[in-house]
């Protein structure tokens, strides 16, 4: 992996983390205000979920060059 490609992957990871944590926090806020009587746990839950999803995406992104994606091809019957 070249340096520029690595830098691009890190940029994508950071942007993804910001968006996902923010989304999780926002959804947690909405649910906390509407259904859960302004408790704190939906915010923590949402932010944690967003962080976990971002981490998982980053992990897949960085491991991608080493994974061989195979696909099954049906044998053509003569």
Partner 1 sequence: SCPSALGAPVASSVRFLIKGSVAGGAVYLVYDQELLGPSEKSQAVLQKAEEVVPPAMYQFSQYVCEQTGLKMPQLPAPPKFNFHIRDTWNSGIITVMSALSVAPSKACEYSKEGWEYLKERTK
The residues that touch partner 1, with contacts defined as CB under 8 A, are 11-13, 15-16, 18-20, 23-24, 26-27, 30-31, 34-35, 50, 53-54, 57-58, 61
Q: What are phi and psi of 69, to 5 degrees?
A: -90, 105
* Least distance (Å) between residue 16 CB and partner 1: 4
Is there a contact between 72 and 35 (Cβ–Cβ < 8 Å)? Answer: no
Q: With respect to partner 1, which residue has the nearer C-beta, 24 or 43?
A: 24
* Least distance (Å) between residue 2 CB and partner 1: 15
Q: With respect to partner 1, which residue has the nearer C-beta, 36 or 77?
A: 36
Length of the chain: 78
């Amino acid at each position: 992996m070249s340096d520029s490609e690595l830098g691009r992957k890190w940029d994508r990871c950071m942007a993804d983390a910001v968006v996902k944590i923010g989304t999780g926090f926002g959804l947690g806020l909405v649910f906390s205000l509407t259904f859960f009587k302004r408790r704190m746990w939906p915010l923590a839950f949402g932010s944690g979920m967003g962080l976990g999803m971002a981490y998982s995406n980053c992990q897949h992104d960085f491991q991608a060059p080493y994974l061989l994606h195979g696909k099954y091809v049906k044998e053509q019957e003569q």
